[in-house]
């Protein structure tokens, strides 16, 4: 008789650390593989466009009922669903709540769960602690961009924001561009500098200098990585950008229109950003509502207002697959907006799941031995 039980493997943060979740060079390779699948079209994400970042709860500005959350910096709940083909052929979801005020309670800004499902039966065969998966895959995206789009011999990185995500971003940029030797960190909280600098020196041999302003971090940089949170966006002036630099937007930054118009824009997956625009059109606050979730926010506003021709925007997956030449010369400035895709969580989560099985990690949970109703 066939086994009709439904069981899942629960993998904690400590299980994932043992399985190699913090192995950034491997993570960059896995995420590069996903970009190849994106370029080929062997994936699906949510919504009729098959490319939505996720389904988000937009909290109201005022409390409508006692206890109902209200909007705030990075305040959201979101379900991010996807199917990923290639060697994976799985469905799954990244599910999370986020609130910038979590630090007051000793919690990370976001609490995340990664769920992996059989794409045929829907069985959830693994449920994983998602925070490190998400942080690593988020960092790995600019790492892949640096591998394919950075100027040859790039040595310096400007780091805007010294939080968890930019730690992962700098580790990944070093993995993708081994010539990197030093970084300039700007954060509104200088207390983050010492631990950030020590970690980068110890793990990848990158010397980190304190930058007293955003300008001081950006001007010497061959690669700029932006990952800030909160209600205020950093502003970057066109004149600060070094010839040949690559700017990666893991968080939003304010730039004037001509900065986008006069330089090259290559996105992680522009179809997803088009879905952000459609979300904005449906929201009472318009396109400004997606500022809470889209690192490409300022570019989206220019596109939505008809000021920027989105047909010029290319995609990293095509560069990875060799269908797009990528950088044309060492003086070209490339802007790389990202948005975060659940396909990346699924790929890195599945890679760790396979390793966990090999190592005998995790705890089995039985949903049911036999369905009560069928």
pTM: 0.94
C-alpha torsion sign, points 322, 151, 184, 259: negative
Please check whether residue 95 lies inside any domain of the structure: yes
| Cβ atoms of 250 and 169 closer than 8 Å | yes
315 and 193, same structural domain? yes
Residue 11 maps to a domain:
yes
Taking only the tens place, the pLDDT of each residue in 324-334 is 999 999 999 99
CATH of the domain at 271: 3.40.50.720
pLDDT number for residue 35: 98
- Rounded alpha-carbon distances, angstroms, from residue 171 to 164, 182, 190, 344: 11, 12, 20, 17
245 and 283 in one domain?
yes
How many structural domains comprise the chain?
2
119: left (phi over 0), alpha (psi -120 to 50) or beta: alpha
In a domain, 143, yes or no: no
Of 236, 249, 269, residue with least CA distance to 166:
249
Answer whether residue 176 is part of any domain.
Answer: yes
The two beta strands, 246-249 and 223-226, are parallel
Residue 310 confidence (pLDDT): 97
DSSP per position, 343-368? HHHHHHHHHHHHHHHHHT-SEEEEEE
Examine the domain organization and report whether 335 and 350 are in the same domain. no
Q: How far is CA 262 from CA 13, 237, 238, 296, in A?
A: 44, 13, 10, 17
Say if residue 336 is in the same domain as residue 347.
no
pLDDT tens column, 154-189: 999 999 999 999 999 999 999 999 999 999 999 998
Note the pLDDT of residue 1. Answer: 61
User: Percent of the chain at pLDDT above 90?
Assistant: 86
Is the separation of the CB atoms in 9 and 126 below 8 Å? yes
Residues 58, 178: one domain? no
Handedness of CA 323, 316, 43, 86 (dihedral sign): positive
**DSSP per-residue codes, 37-58:** HHHHT-EEEBTTTT-BS-EEE-
Same domain, 36 and 171: no
Q: What count of other Cβ atoms lies within 10 Å of the Cβ of residue 1?
A: 3
Give the 3-state secondary structure of residue 320. helix
Quick one: tokens of 273?
């950003």
User: Is 145 a member of any domain?
Assistant: no
The chain-wide mean pLDDT, for the chain, equals 95
Rounded to an integer, what distance in angstroms lies between the CA atom of residue 46 and that of residue 53? 7
Q: Are residue 309 and residue 351 in the same domain, yes or no?
A: no
Interior/surface letters 47-83, b for 16+ CB within 10 angstroms, e for the rest: beeebbbbebebbeeeeeeeeeeeebebbbbbebbbb
Q: Is residue 165 part of a domain?
A: yes
The answer to whether residues 176 and 266 belong to one domain is yes
Does residue 1 form part of some domain? no
For residue 68, the enclosing domain spans 6-134+343-368
Sequential DSSP letters for 1-33:
-----EEEEEE-HHHHHHHTTT-HHHHHHHHHH
Q: Are residues 243 and 96 in the same domain?
A: no
Residue 146 lies in a domain: no
Location of structure tokens 């069981």: 7
On whether both 105 and 212 belong to a single domain, the answer is no
Q: Which of 214, 223, 265, 213 is nearest to 247 (CA)?
A: 223
Residues 293 and 354 in one domain: no
The 10 Å Cβ neighbour count of residue 201 is 12
> pLDDT of 102-133, one tens digit each?
989 999 989 999 999 999 999 999 999 999 99
194 and 127 belong to one structural domain: no
Q: Which residues contact 19 (CB under 8 A, 6 or more apart)?
A: 11, 352, 355, 356, 359, 361
What is the average per-residue pLDDT within 335-348? 97
Which residue's structure tokens are 């396909």? Answer: 343
Structure tokens at 67: 């206890």
Long-range contacts of 67-73 (CB under 8 A, 24+ apart): 71/292, 72/99, 72/100, 72/101, 72/231, 73/100, 73/101, 73/229, 73/230, 73/231, 73/292
pLDDT digits 0-9 by tens, 204-250: 999 999 999 999 999 999 999 999 977 789 999 999 999 999 999 99
Residues 6 or more apart in contact with residue 358 via CB below 8 angstroms: none
């Amino acid at each position: 008789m066939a086994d009709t039980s439904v069981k899942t493997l629960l993998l904690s943060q400590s299980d994932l650390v043992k399985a190699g979740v913090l192995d950034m060079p491997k993570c960059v390779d896995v995420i590069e593989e996903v970009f190849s699948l994106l370029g080929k079209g062997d994936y699906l994400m949510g919504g009729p466009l098959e490319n939505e970042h996720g389904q988000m709860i937009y909290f109201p500005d005022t409390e409508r009922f006692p206890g109902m959350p209200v909007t705030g910096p990075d305040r959201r709940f979101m379900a991010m669903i996807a199917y990923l083909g290639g060697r994976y052929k799985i469905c799954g979801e990244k599910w999370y709540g986020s609130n910038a005020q979590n630090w007051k309670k000793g919690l990370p800004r976001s609490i995340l769960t990664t769920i992996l499902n059989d794409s045929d039966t829907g069985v959830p065969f693994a449920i994983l602690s998602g925070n490190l998966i998400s942080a690593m895959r988020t960092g790995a995206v600019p790492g892949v961009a640096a591998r394919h789009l950075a100027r040859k011999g790039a040595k310096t990185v400007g780091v805007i924001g010294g939080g968890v995500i930019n730690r992962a971003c700098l580790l990944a940029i070093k993995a993708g561009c081994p010539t990197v030797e030093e970084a300039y960190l700007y954060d509104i909280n200088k207390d983050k500098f010492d631990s950030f600098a020590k970690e980068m020196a110890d793990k990848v041999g990158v010397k980190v200098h304190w930058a007293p302003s955003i300008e001081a971090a950006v001007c010497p940089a061959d690669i700029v990585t932006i990952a800030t949170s909160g209600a205020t966006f950093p502003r970057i002036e066109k004149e600060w950008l070094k010839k040949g630099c690559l700017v990666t937007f893991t968080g939003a930054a304010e730039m004037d229109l001509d900065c986008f118009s006069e330089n090259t824009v290559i996105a992680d997956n522009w179809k997803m950003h088009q879905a952000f625009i459609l979300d904005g059109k449906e929201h009472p606050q318009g396109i400004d509502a997606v500022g809470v979730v889209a690192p490409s926010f300022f570019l989206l506003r220019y596109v939505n207002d008809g000021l920027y021709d989105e047909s010029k925007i290319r995609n990293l997956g095509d560069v990875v697959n060799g269908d797009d030449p990528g950088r044309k010369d060492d003086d070209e400035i490339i802007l790389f907006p990202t948005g975060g895709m659940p396909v990346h969580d699924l790929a890195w989560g599945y890679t760790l799941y396979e390793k966990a099985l090999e190592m005998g990690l995790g705890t089995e949970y039985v949903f049911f031995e036999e369905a009560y109703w069928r």
